[in-house]
Structures are given as structure tokens and as C-alpha cells.
Amino acid sequence: MILVTGATGFVGGHVVSSLRRADKAVRCLVRDTRGAGSLESMGCELAQGDLTDPGSLERAVEGVEGVVHLVAIRQGKEEQFERIMTRGTAGLALAARQAGVGRFVHMSALGVSEQTKDLVPYYRAKWETEQTVQGSAMPYVILRPSFVFGPDGGILPTFRKLAKLLPVTPIAGSGQQRLQPIWVDDLAAHVGQALELGAATNRTFELGGPDIVSWNELWARLKLALGLRRPSVHVPMALMRANALVTERLPGNIPLTRDLLKMMEAGDNVVSNDDAAQTFQLPLLALDDQLRRAA
């Protein structure tokens, strides 16, 4: 039995689907079982609970061989990052270790490091959760993906809407920073292997797709995939921050925040080594194919 947290999210849905296709027994930690019908339809067992409820975590890990921990928030108050991500992960790791779980797979984020941990609360929480997992006395694998692309979630559908609806494509700053998007199903395949691959044990892997592009190149390729011929305009970061100050206060999961801009300004979001490619040896979907599938 594999316990998956964050199974109702964008990445979580693809991870669960991949595990079920591999005929793995999956239990999903969900706050409200009424909104998890799609997970039940895939044959998943539901464990009602929350990362902030230690009792529900203890029940969720009973009889579990492996844990896939995907829960994270990208925006919120410092207290929320501390309560949900930092303390929540610590509680889950403790419950898993006490239950004798044999493998803990944790999804972090590319760009997280000791040098960047104080840049934004998201990075700090991710760094702290990595330290918790590494010190948990359980076999673990930490995955740090770059931007995760897919047709049904993440930031790519927002990009697609902007490209289609706006007469001019706004690009933050110079657009020269680079990223290495990975397709969501490729990420899910890495998670599945991480649960079993001996060579991955107690290691941290940076994950990216096969193509490294600048933001300028990404927007150009996306518009080409959509069959659009519209100009782009570079928006100064100061103006982008002023815009984010307004948009991040709106309800819902807002893609543009001041913290996101800080992470973009910090530098390229690309992998620094080929450890993941050498260890997992999985095929990866090319960026142009990613964009076409999402078009």
C-alpha cells in the first residue's frame, strides 16, 4: 500500500493514476472524501485527515509500505507555510517512521537550497521539509522538479489563456532567465520509480525536461504551437511587482505573486547535473510536444 498526500492536486492526480496503472494499491489522504470521487473511481482507498492532525496521520500510515508526499502551498502567510508544510511534514514523517514505512518520497522544488532558503517562505518551507525527511531515519528520495507542465493544471493553462486572449504577450523583465519544464506524466513516472529503485535511495534529484529555454523562447514556442502570431512586450519587474501586489490578494490560486517574481529574478531554473537521467533512465517528453499536447 502506498499513501499519497496531495492526491487531489494537479501533480497528485497524475501520480495516483500512474501508480494505479502499475497496479499499486493506493491510499489517499484527503480532507473531504466528498470531493475525491475521481480517486475512488480509480480504485483508491481514502483516508480522511489532514497534515495538521497527528491522529489522522497515524491512521493513514497504518499498513503502508511507502509514502509519496506532495502537499505544498505556494502562497499564504508565514504561519501557514510553517503549519502546513514544515510542521505537517514533520508530523507525517514521524508517523511514517513509527509505522515502519520503508520508503518516503518527497516532492520539493528546483531552486531550493541552503543559499536560497531565505528568499521566500515557499523556499524556506521546502528546505525545512527536505531537512526533516533526510533526518527521519527512513529510506527516502527527494525530487526537485522545475516547472511542471500539463494540460489540466499548473501554470501552463494560464499561459495558454494569456497567449490566446491578449493581443500582446507580456513577459516579465528581460525574459532571458532560463527554465526546464518537465511534463507532469514524466514527473509521475519518476515518483513511481523512486518508490522502488535501490539506486535512488537516500538521494536528492533535480528534475527537468529535455529542453532548456529562456522565457522569451518559451512564449515564442507556445504561440507557435497555438498557431498565433502576436507580438511580445517586456514588462519591467517593478511594474510586475506592483501588479502582483494587487493580484495576489484576489481569492483562489493566483499564478502571479511577488514571491514568484523573486524566484524568477534569482536566476535560471534548470538542473545542475545529470544524476536523475543516469539513475532513472526514463524517456522525457520534448518541450514542443508538451506545448502541442496542452494546446
* pLDDT reported for residue 276: 98
* pLDDT reported for residue 49: 94
Question: How far, in Å, CA of 33 to CA of 20, rounded?
Answer: 19
* pLDDT reported for residue 253: 61
* pLDDT reported for residue 273: 96
* pLDDT reported for residue 248: 73
CB-count burial class (<10 Å; 0-12, 13-18, 19+) for 232 = middle
pTM: 0.95
* pLDDT reported for residue 225: 96
* pLDDT reported for residue 254: 62
* pLDDT reported for residue 250: 67
* pLDDT reported for residue 255: 67
Smallest Cα–Cα separation from 210: which of 285, 109, 294? 285
* pLDDT reported for residue 266: 87
- Residue 255 CB partners (closer than 8 Å, separation 6+): 155, 158
Question: How far, in Å, CA of 126 to CA of 131, rounded?
Answer: 9
CB-count burial class (<10 Å; 0-12, 13-18, 19+) for 280 = buried
* pLDDT reported for residue 264: 87
* pLDDT reported for residue 116: 94
The full set of domain ranges for the chain reads 2-148+182-208+270-283
* pLDDT reported for residue 7: 96
The one-letter amino acid code at 226 reads L
For the chain, list residues with pLDDT below 50.
Answer: none
* pLDDT reported for residue 278: 98
* pLDDT reported for residue 251: 64
Tell whether domain 2-148+182-208+270-283 is in CATH 3.40.50.720.
yes
